[in-house]
Amino acid sequence: MSIVFSDRFRYTLIVSSYKERIFLKHSLIRFSAVVLTIAFVFALTGCGSGSNSFTWFVDSIPANLDPQVASASADVIACENLYSGLVRKDPSGKYEPALCERWEKSSDGLTYTFYLKDGLTYTAAKGNATDYAITAEDFVFAFRRLFRAETNSPYAVEFAALENSAAVLAGQMPESALGVTASGPLTLVFHLSSADDNFLEKLTLPGAMPCDEEFFNSTRGTYGLNASSTLSSGSFYIYNWTASGLFLRRAPSGSLIDSLRLVQNTNSAGQSAAELIANEKCSAAPDDTAAPTTLTSLSYSDTTWSLLFNCSSVFASTELRQALASAARGAAEVPDGGLYAAANGLVPDGLTVDGMNYRDTAGDVTPAAVDARALYLTARQTLTTSDFNKVSLMVPAGSGVTSAAEEINGVWQKEFSLFFSVEEVDEETFAKRLAEGDYTIALAPISAEGGSVYNMLNQFTAAGGGLTGYALNPARDLGPRIAHAILPIKGKGSSNFKYGLIVPIFGPIIGGLLAVLLYNVIPWAAV
């Protein structure tokens, strides 16, 4: 496992792709870090009832197939396959047209124009043809539904960059003011108030799928809750939907999957995902055991593992951090089990910007070599052995990185005669202690929120909050805090305006005023 060090952020960064423990047979599928999806299962073959069927064991039977509302894992998996949107990702992670023929993006990144394919129609249950055509107005209606307060859509926050979205959601402006318009039956235009590098990615979410207004109204509040009130815009359609599971089909097409089953595992208790697949009970299943397996797995969640040095401890010395970082850089091997990949930069593979792979664009980034021994000797001139007595390396239990931590600890002992205990704590305690600064060194995951390169890199700025400090920029703190307060985010906690007003707003204002006053009263200030 390679390590990237940046003293500016006071971190030693181990870049890797932490892979979710979901096992698949015969395939590698990349999932979103936010929701579990099988968007590319179409080209897979698996076991089950026939060579072209795919059986997925889910935690619960899908209950809501309204794409603008679906949020449970099983519901999202079903929606990803029932519905097609404007764009999709190909197996390499690049965006390509789905229901559109092409799209255009303005030079300022604020306008997206999509040109839909002609002659597209929805499919009813059991593959029955319908007279409902897929048009640009269906997307306009779908997005307006996202920003209706009564919809309570979890996807509204993802499209907060649309013009007037907050005002429409709050009822301060009409739906027609939302930045989504149809300039013709097949031409759809999005107007953004601010550029969003992940806009195409978000258009693959269930919430961005089309919804026919006439059909929606005809269901009288049951849209997506049963087979007869659901229309498919994707490759699959509902064949059967019972308490036993959701069964999707599509027209046979060579080696492509033509039958997808989402069922609940009720009779194989105690068996691991690997055992279930080996016994041909399913093609995919969640696994929490982390047991070794020869099966090819999965996807990753775009996570960077990092060594965090608490600069309020003995590691206030830049030289000391650099010395330990340099020694650790070549110490840690990639953990076994296929859950990790070696580092090639701060941002892991798989993240894109405007459809381009960030690693391909930025290249592989490695830190400059330093003389670790010389730096360590310089740092030790002001330190004693007793200063290191309370140092420990904290890791989250069950993460699979304990071996890497022990390897790093071993090289520190060999190179510098320093030996720190490796402390495993549960995830809740780990997060709490990180937030409170109750650690000396921690091996911690840093996730790319929403799969965004920007969000990941922004964690390493003082203004961005997160790991490197509090957000003291009102523009960065107040706006997101207001959005958090008004948007219908499922399970959200308090927006904490008591902190939000005092620290990021009044704090910088009062500090600036005091600075001006002090400047005027200090005698040498005018020199």
Q: Summarize pLDDT for 13-71 with one digit per residue, the tens.
A: 333 333 333 333 332 222 222 222 222 222 222 333 334 788 888 888 999 999 999 98
Residue 372 lies in a domain: yes
CA 246, 249, 250 angle in degrees (round to 5)?
Answer: 155
Q: Summarize pLDDT for 148-168 with one digit per residue, the tens.
A: 999 999 899 889 999 999 999
Return all residues near 393 (Cβ < 8 A) that are at least 6 apart. 405, 408, 409, 420, 421, 422, 423, 440, 441, 442, 443
Looking at the 3D structure of the chain, how many domains does it have? 3
Same-domain pairing of 482 and 518 = yes
Show which of 434, 460, 486 is a domain's final residue.
460
CATH code of the domain containing 351: 3.10.105.10
**Chain centroid, CA 224 distance in Å:** 26
The pLDDT of residue 8 is above 70: no
Same-domain pairing of 455 and 478 = no
Cα 91 to Cα 74: distance, rounded to the nearest angstrom: 22
Give the mean pLDDT of 407-434: 89
CATH code of the domain containing 206: 3.90.76.10
Cα 459 to Cα 476: distance, rounded to the nearest angstrom: 12
Cα 230 to Cα 218: distance, rounded to the nearest angstrom: 11
Same-domain pairing of 476 and 427 = no
Structure tokens at 476: 């960065």
pTM summary value: 0.56
CA dihedral 395, 439, 300, 265 (to 10 degrees): 60
First to last CA, the chain: 55
Residue 376 lies in a domain: yes
**DSSP helix/strand/coil, 359:** helix
Say what angle helices 402-416 and 372-380 make with each other, to 10 degrees: 70
Neighbours of 222 (CB within 10 A): 12
Same-domain pairing of 151 and 191 = yes
Nearest to 99, CA basis, from 114, 82, 89: 114
The pLDDT of residue 368 is above 90: no
Show which of 223, 243, 271 is a domain's final residue.
223
Return all residues near 463 (Cβ < 8 A) that are at least 6 apart. 471, 472, 473, 476
Which pLDDT does position 262 carry in this prediction?
A: 92
- Nearest-Å Rg of the Cα atoms of the chain is 26
Cα 305 to Cα 310: distance, rounded to the nearest angstrom: 16
Nearest to 142, CA basis, from 207, 199, 53: 207
Same-domain pairing of 448 and 502 = no
Cα 279 to Cα 456: distance, rounded to the nearest angstrom: 40
Structure tokens at 421: 């205990």
Cα 46 to Cα 284: distance, rounded to the nearest angstrom: 9
Which pLDDT does position 511 carry in this prediction?
A: 75
Same-domain pairing of 158 and 216 = yes
Residue 252 lies in a domain: no
Same-domain pairing of 486 and 412 = no
329: alpha, beta or left? (left if phi > 0; alpha if psi -120 to 50): alpha
Residue 456 lies in a domain: yes
Cα 94 to Cα 89: distance, rounded to the nearest angstrom: 5
- The boundaries of the domain holding residue 309 are 3-17+300-460
Residue 295 lies in a domain: no
The pLDDT of residue 9 is above 50: no
Nearest to 273, CA basis, from 57, 74, 61: 57
Show which of 177, 193, 223 is a domain's final residue.
223
Residue 341 lies in a domain: yes
Which pLDDT does position 16 carry in this prediction?
A: 37
Sign of torsion over alpha carbons 190, 194, 200, 205? negative
Cα 299 to Cα 296: distance, rounded to the nearest angstrom: 10
Q: Which of 153-157, 178-182, 489-493, 501-505 shows the lowest per-residue confidence on average (mean pLDDT)? A: 489-493
Q: Summarize pLDDT for 369-402 with one digit per residue, the tens.
A: 788 899 999 999 988 888 898 899 999 887 778 8
Residue 39 lies in a domain: no
Q: Which of 25-39, 147-161, 192-206, 338-352 shows the lowest per-residue confidence on average (mean pLDDT)? A: 25-39
Same-domain pairing of 443 and 311 = yes
Same-domain pairing of 341 and 195 = no
Q: Summarize pLDDT for 224-282 with one digit per residue, the tens.
A: 999 999 999 998 999 999 998 999 999 777 667 889 999 987 766 677 777 787 777 88
Which pLDDT does position 47 carry in this prediction?
A: 33
Same-domain pairing of 447 and 480 = no
Structure tokens at 427: 């995830």
Structure tokens at 321: 């951090």
**Chain centroid, CA 399 distance in Å:** 18
CA contacts within 13 A on the Cβ side of 46: 34
Same-domain pairing of 365 and 447 = yes
Same-domain pairing of 515 and 413 = no
Whether 207 contacts 159, CB under 8 Å: yes
**DSSP helix/strand/coil, 323:** helix
Residue 79 lies in a domain: no
Which pLDDT does position 508 carry in this prediction?
A: 73
Q: By percentage, how much of the chain surpasses pLDDT 90?
A: 37
Q: Which is more confidently placed, 44 or 514?
A: 514
